[in-house]
Amino acid sequence: DTEVTQTPKHLVMGMTNKKSLKCEQHMGHRAMYWYKQKAKKPPELMFVYSYEKLSINESVPSRFSPECPNSSLLNLHLHALQPEDSALYLCASSLERGPTEAFFGQGTRLTVV
Amino acid sequence: AQSVTQLGSHVSVSEGALVLLRCNYSSSVPPYLFWYVQYPNQGLQLLLKYTSAATLVKGINGFEAEFKKSETSFHLTKPSAHMSDAAEYFCAVSSNQAGTALIFGKGTTLSVSS
């Protein structure tokens, strides 16, 4: 199983809503990532978890709150988002940080209205 | 700090023609380099990777790339383009140092015409 599964695939939320994005992998990877991708742009790193601990936060606003309940799951909790937060949110995992390749999920297309 | 620069935001080729997508890197430590492809509304798929073994790396779908330290380049090539190769291509870099993750170039859109 070389899949990273993200749910939901599409999400529309209001600026006062609270929602969560979910990501799951069963490859035994110990590093998991959240990336944000705007249209026609490359993915931008948001968070990195290594061995279930947050190791990198790329100065992401607090309205985005990551959580890693266990080594297979990664969540991104969303609260009080702005329309400019609309984007494709990609989850990825890798065996460990560093030179090994990252496997990406299909992404969640988020629209904030 | 590490970075990659992809030269040319858009490349157009005819079906059957050579594909050449350019990537130059900047790194103060030995880099690990990757090419990913992204089809519309999908995630990223790894095409190939360089992790300090052979400098000529073969990937999926007939793509290959050559690591040239003297030129700080890692260009992606394919001898004969197919219509299904039309997509967005990203070059990425990381290192084996703690605290690093993939850093992507701006991407190159490949168009293939019949």
Q: What is the spatial distance between Cα B88 and Cα B109, in angstroms, rounded to a whole number?
A: 4
- All residues of chain A having their beta carbon less than 8 Å from the beta carbon of residue B2 are none
DSSP A102: P
Inter-chain residue contact B101 with A105, CB threshold 8 Å = no
Q: Indicate yes or no: CB of B103 within 8 angstroms of CB of A97.
A: no
Question: Which residues in chain B touch residue A41, judged by CB atoms under 8 angstroms apart?
Answer: 106-107
What is the biggest distance separating any 2 CA atoms in chain B, rounded to whole angstroms? 46
Structure tokens at B104: 């992507």
* Token pair of A75 as six digits: 């969540």
Question: pLDDT value at position A36?
Answer: 97
Residue among B78, B70, B79, B1 nearest B35 (CA): B78
CB-based contact A34:A90 (threshold 8 Å): yes
In angstroms, the separation between the Cα of residue A52 and the nearest Cα of chain B is 14
Write down the pLDDT at residue A62.
96
Alpha-carbon distance A86 to nearest alpha carbon in chain B (angstroms): 14
Question: Between chains, do A98 and B97 touch, taking CB under 8 Å as contact?
Answer: yes
pLDDT along chain A (113 residues), means of 10: 90 95 94 94 93 91 96 96 96 79 94 96
Is B32 near chain A, with CB under 8 Å? yes
pLDDT of amino acid B92: 94
* Tokens representing residue B29 in the block: 């430590």
Going by pLDDT thresholds of 50, 70 and 90, the confidence category of residue B101 is confident
- Going by DSSP bridges, is the β-strand pair B44-50/B32-38 parallel, antiparallel, or unpaired? antiparallel
Query: pLDDT at position A47, please?
Result: 94
Asked if residue B97 has pLDDT above 80, the reply is no
Summarised one tens digit per residue, pLDDT across range B11-69 is 999 999 999 999 999 987 778 899 999 998 889 999 999 987 788 999 999 999 999 99
Which residues are within 8 A (CB) of A36 and not within 5 positions of it... i.e. 6 or more apart?
Answer: A43, A44, A46, A87, A88, A89, A90
Record: contact A48-B101, CB cut-off 8 A? yes
pLDDT score recorded for residue B99: 53
Vertex B34: Cα angle to B32 and B36 (nearest 5):
160
CA A8 → CA A21, A42, B106, distances in Å?
A: 7, 21, 26
* Per-residue pLDDT at B58: 95
pLDDT of amino acid A95: 84
**DSSP structural state of residue A101:** P
Mapped onto helix, strand or coil, the DSSP state of residue B84 is helix
